[in-house]
Amino acid sequence: METLKGLAIAACFAILSGWLAWLASAPSIAITPDSVQYISAAQSIAGGAGISTRVTEVGDGGHQPLSSWPPVYPFVLAAGTQRLESGQRVVAMDWVRLVNVLAVILLLFPFAWLARVVVGGTESMLCLVWLAASRPTYLLASFAWSETLFVLLSVSALACTVRGLARDETEAHRVRWLLLAGTMAALAALTRYLGVSLVLALAITVLLRSEGEPSRRTLRRIACVTGPALVSVTVWVGRNLVLTGRGFGSSPPAGEHAASHALLDTLLTLGRDWILPAALPTWLLFPGVVAATAAGLWLLWRSAVGFGPETFEQHPLQLTAATALTQYLWIYLALLLASASTISLDPVNTRLLAPIYPCVILLLAPLLRGMIEQLTPRLAGWALGALAVLFVFQVLGTAEYLVAPRESRQLTAPYWRTVVWSNEEIEAAPQIRYLRRLPAESVVLTNVWEMVTFTTGLPTKIWPERPSPEAMSRRLAGDYLLWDPAYRAYLPDPVELLGEDATRSLRLLGTWDGVKLYRIEPEGSVFTPSAYPSESGKASGTDSDATRGSQIGMIPGDGPSAPNRSR
């Protein structure tokens, strides 16, 4: 009966969270540079072209093996493709949105079970309320990112591990639970590379919580939680090495003082996500910051003073859960900071830290309860009041995010929350209908590569910000050029670049409200030495595509969608 009650409560919060995730992702899923690569790879998988991306630089081939991003999320998206008359496969944007919403809904069930383990049946509802009111949950769900699926897999793996280490389990049942946990961890590691931290955490948890067991049995349990990941990740990394020469894709080295910047970004992000209030009126901003900061610091101080080891030792299963959650948190953070200190990634932000926030909630809840139980009634009232202040700010932040403008990065920096490219209306554009009639392997060079990729599935080339003969050595004769002047005004117009050569290098196939489609003539090439401005001439921006891709949005006249790195 207690189990059914727990499932019913979890189902109620799951429905609520799913509804809020659907609102956050309205009117359509938001797109970033990573999203383009995920969706392109999904279309290649569905079309039988392997795990590759068709959105490439001009000097690359039509297909490039996907290696900078793991494959599980593209495989999931590939299940929602539809076949065009040309034979190409395109991912339905509603399917991408539905995948994220379903992941949020399913997440609530393993999370609810872990909450009952760490704080008990009735008080576990507070953890569910906390998670359902958390803005980062819906930030992840509103973008075409792999993080929402990753959170589901990681929390499920932790729950299966804790269940498998319960004392009332037979060894055969224990092995099944741990093998299931290992499978979930393997999928998580192939969803985001930082999922390796989960595999390590499970192995350490099994080792620490198998005290007194025979060595052979302990090793068998560790093999169950690590074996699937070791095999699958080794195969994937080996494949990458053979095809690209790099195990985890190419990323430039981090800049100077990257370690200190990563640590500072982490602290600032944690403060914004957990302490500081939502967007408030100017006259309320200062008192809001003061109130939230004071409440948060006071609670942390009282927890540190009042917490005793017995808080997590009331039941062996509770201690197992605390061990697993703690190991995962510190290993994840250590690997994240190490990665940000050695290779060039996006600044540490909510997207990178949100995957561990459910675990933070599960650890904070018993700590706060233990602290409040040891306080005098008067101080306990102050503690509950401080928690209420922080919770109100969490709710305000979530409400603000649900209704915030989509073409903005006000609450999603450094990412733009754009839905321009995932809007179904772009499929009706006449230039898209024309492109859909082209042969399946036609290559399109364009400044709106997201639109072409999502609606046609054709191999797409990114029009560069600084075209040069050296970087554009490949001849593009026979390919197509689609130019939309309404987008990315900082990019150099191809006709202006070519000047007099445009009449013999480009054959105009059609024009629609300023949008032009050309065929690049076989006898000419778009990229000729005489076609380029000198370095002192028409400059087109100050940053490279790779830099601007993670900082500037994709709304009309704004930045590119070059791949950004988020491991």
Alpha carbon 308 to chain centroid, angstroms:
36
* Backbone CA torsion sign across 113, 117, 122, 128: negative
d(CA 131, CA 129) in angstroms, rounded, equals 6
CA distance 96 to 454: 12
**Nearest partner of 40 among 449, 434, 550, judged by Cα:** 449
Nearest partner of 112 among 191, 198, 16, judged by Cα: 16
Averaged over successive runs of 10 residues, the pLDDT of the chain (567 residues) comes to: 82 96 95 95 93 86 87 97 88 96 98 92 87 94 97 98 87 93 98 97 94 90 96 96 88 76 87 71 67 70 57 75 94 94 85 95 84 78 82 88 87 87 86 90 91 93 69 64 91 78 78 90 52 35 33 36 48
In 47-190, which residue ranges form alpha helices assigned H by DSSP? Answer: 72-78, 93-119, 124-132, 135-141, 147-164, 171-189
Short-list 264, 258, 294, CA closest to 276? 294
Q: Which tokens hold the place of 163?
A: 């269940």
SS3 375: coil
553 in Cβ contact with 409 (< 8 Å): yes
Number of neighbouring beta carbons within 10 Å of residue 131 = 22
Interatomic CA distance for residues 130 and 116, integer angstroms: 14
Residue 215's contacts (CB-CB under 8 Å, 6 or more residues apart) are none
Token code pair at residue 245 = 């020469």
Collapsed DSSP state (helix, strand, coil) of residue 341: helix
- What radius of gyration do the chain's Cα atoms show? 26
Place of tokens 């990753």: 150
* CA dist., res. 451 & res. 555, Å (int): 12
Backbone φ and ψ for 201, nearest 5 degrees, come out as -65, -40
pLDDT score, position 549: 34
Pairing mode, strands 81-83 and 89-91: antiparallel
